[in-house]
Amino acid sequence: MYTTYLRRELAGRKKQTIIVATGLAVAIALVMIVTSLTAGVRDAQAQALESVYGVGTDLTVSGSAAEPGQGGTAFDFGEDAGQTGDDGTTQLEQSRLMTEPFRSTLDAAAVETVTSTDGVASATGALSLTNMTFSGELPEPPSDAADDTMTQGQPPQQSEGGGGGGFGGGSFDLDSFTVLGLEPGVEGIGPVSAAEVTDGRALDADDAGQDVAVLDATYASSEELSVGDAIEIGGTGFDIVGIVASTSAEADTAADVYIPLDVAQELSGAGDVVSTVYVQAESSDDVSSVQAALQDELPGATVSSPSDLAASVSGSLSSASSLITDLGTWLSLIVLAVALALAVLFTISGVSRRTREFGTLKALGWSNGRVVGQVAGESVIQGLIGGTVGVALGLAGIAVVNLVAPTVSSASTAPSTNGPGVVGGTGGPGGGGFAEMASAAASDIVLQAPVTLWVILAAVGIAILGGLLAGAVGGWRAALLSPAEALRSVG
């Protein structure tokens, strides 16, 4: 009898059912879409930072920013530099292997200091370098001033437009690639732990002091280099023993070329220093305390964690996250509140119009609980109808988002450590810690809105909750009616 009466009452109040169900459906659909988009942006952020989170590193310790005016690129050409032809034109070429111009290095002893710190499981050092090659053709200098310029260790002024320039009819090129000196044989921590060997081998312990190199696959392909070939670094020939590629399809490895750390220190003339110390904590729960301890041990250094990097991600990815979190969430809550309020108001209004009906039912012996159950049942059914329609609308909206597949960009606010004039390099800055590695992770990411079972269940739960709320309020109002007063009010 209960279900029969329930079905008859709903069929007789189609307008109210449609309005209440529609309001809940729109609210539920919006909540589903916003929730899925929020999850999609979160996944996109994780994808953008995958190359950093995947390096087996919990913390990085890097040198502080250099003082203004330090660094820069200097090429030392003596009076007899280059080869001069019969027409007086001089061919010049020189390679330099330099540390990051805008970040100071750390004494190699910092690796031991980090390793001995409580909570540190392991640590390894790396030296981030840039190999720059100046090559050009200069005409016979028109005066002694040109000779003075060259002997002071600076190349001629590069013209606008990138790699080449003119000087009285001459031209020159400035090419570069990133080099990372690593402790050979160290695995499981540092940039190369996020890479896999695709050809040849990785650097091993026996490579210490040897002129051998491992190349990033993208860089090797662009330069048409392979295992067994040679590459010139800082004016010295290196044998290519391996090719590595990032395990993430969305990011390159940390540098273009990897060489033994001791060779990098000697060839660059930097001495016994490192750019970055990669740190692995004994437990993920200890990262914050280890970070504080390292900052105390090395006050002049910068200690960074993945959470610091995540906070630096900007661009449209961050804008999308802020928009969805702020505007989307509040809009969903407002629409949901309005829908619930409408459901309650329409239920109360319906109870008011059914005063005679409920008075008659109570006169026939219906208890207050049965009256409340009747109104609540009608409201729950209306909520379930709205929930079903809302889930369908929400899934349709999510499908549209995934079909459109909007592209967002992720970019780090951290300043580039490559410095002026550094051209090329498919890899990232390599040795400057999490903040600089974010620059390597910058990319365009397709935003997807994933659908999870809990989102659908939550949507249905909201619908049922809305129906129960409206039914409870309306049923309580109906239960307060006195049969005599109800019948007299419509008599």
Residue bearing the bigger pLDDT, 220 or 387: 220
The total of other beta-carbon atoms located within 10 Å of residue 218's CB is: 16
Q: Where are the domains of the chain?
A: 2-50+317-406+447-489, 60-304
Query: pLDDT category, 86, cuts 50, 70, 90?
Result: low
Q: 51-55, 107-111, 199-203, 204-208: lowest mean pLDDT where?
A: 51-55
Residue bearing the bigger pLDDT, 104 or 389: 389
d(C-alpha 279, C-alpha 360), whole Å: 78
- Amino acid at position 448, single letter: Q
Non-local CB neighbours of 272 within 8 Å, separated by 6+ positions: 107, 108, 265
- The 3-class SS string of the chain reads CHHHHHHHHHHHCHHHHHHHHHHHHHHHHHHHHHHHHHHHHHHHHHHHCHHHHCCCCCEEEEECECCCCCCCCCCCCCCCCCEECCCCCEEEEEEEEEECCCECCEECHHHHHHHCCCCEEEEEEEEEEEEEEEEEEECCCCCHHHHHHHHCCCCCCCCCCCCEEEECCEEEEEEEEEEEEECCCCCCCCHHHHEEEEEECCCCHHHCCCCEEEEEHHHHHHHCCCCCCEEEECCEEEEEEEEEEECCCCCCCCCCEEEEHHHHHHHHCCCCEECEEEEEECCHHHHHHHHHHHHHHCCCEEEECHHHHHHHEECHHHHHHHHHHHHHHHHHHHHHHHHHHHHHHHHHHHHHHCHHHHHHHHHCCCCHHHHHHHHHHHHHHHHHHHHHHHHHHHHHHHHHHHHHCCEEEEEECCCCCCCCCCCCCCCCCCCCHHHHHHHHHCEEEECCCCCCHHHHHHHHHHHHHHHHHHHHHHHHHHHCCCHHHHHHHCC
What pLDDT, in 10s, does the model give residues 264-290? 999 988 899 999 899 988 887 788 899
Residue 151 has pLDDT above 50, yes or no: no
Residue bearing the bigger pLDDT, 404 or 81: 404
What pLDDT, in 10s, does the model give residues 157-172? 444 434 444 444 556 6
Q: Specify the residue for token string 């400057």.
A: 432
> What is the mean pLDDT of the segment spanning 46-58?
57
The total of other beta-carbon atoms located within 10 Å of residue 298's CB is: 21
The total of other beta-carbon atoms located within 10 Å of residue 34's CB is: 23
β pairing state of 120-138 and 90-99: antiparallel
Residue 114 has pLDDT above 80, yes or no: yes
Q: Phi/psi zone of residue 209: left (φ > 0), alpha (ψ -120 to 50 degrees), beta?
A: left
Residue 408 has pLDDT above 70, yes or no: no
Residue 436 corresponds to which tokens in the numbers above?
């600089």
Non-local CB neighbours of 357 within 8 Å, separated by 6+ positions: none
Does this model's pTM top 0.85? no
> If you average pLDDT over every residue of the chain, what do you get?
73
Comparing CA positions, the residue from 181, 57, 64 lying closest to residue 125 is 181
What pLDDT, in 10s, does the model give residues 238-269? 999 999 998 766 556 778 999 999 999 999 88
What's the confidence (pLDDT) of residue 170?
55
Q: 88-97, 134-143, 297-306: lowest mean pLDDT where?
A: 134-143
Could you tell me the CA-to-CA distances from 4 to 1, 11, 377 in Å, in that order? 5, 11, 12
Residue 185 has pLDDT above 80, yes or no: yes
d(C-alpha 278, C-alpha 180), whole Å: 13
* Phi, psi of 319, rounded to the nearest 5 degrees: -65, -40
What's the confidence (pLDDT) of residue 78?
53
N-term to C-term CA, the chain: 28
Q: Is 216 exposed, middle or buried (0-12, 13-18, 19+ CB in 10 A)?
A: buried
Q: Note whether 60 and 308 are within 8 A (CB).
A: no
Q: Note whether 41 and 320 are within 8 A (CB).
A: yes
Comparing CA positions, the residue from 332, 375, 329, 347 lying closest to residue 21 is 347
* Phi, psi of 436, rounded to the nearest 5 degrees: -75, -35
Percent share of the chain, pLDDT over 70: 62
What's the confidence (pLDDT) of residue 319?
60
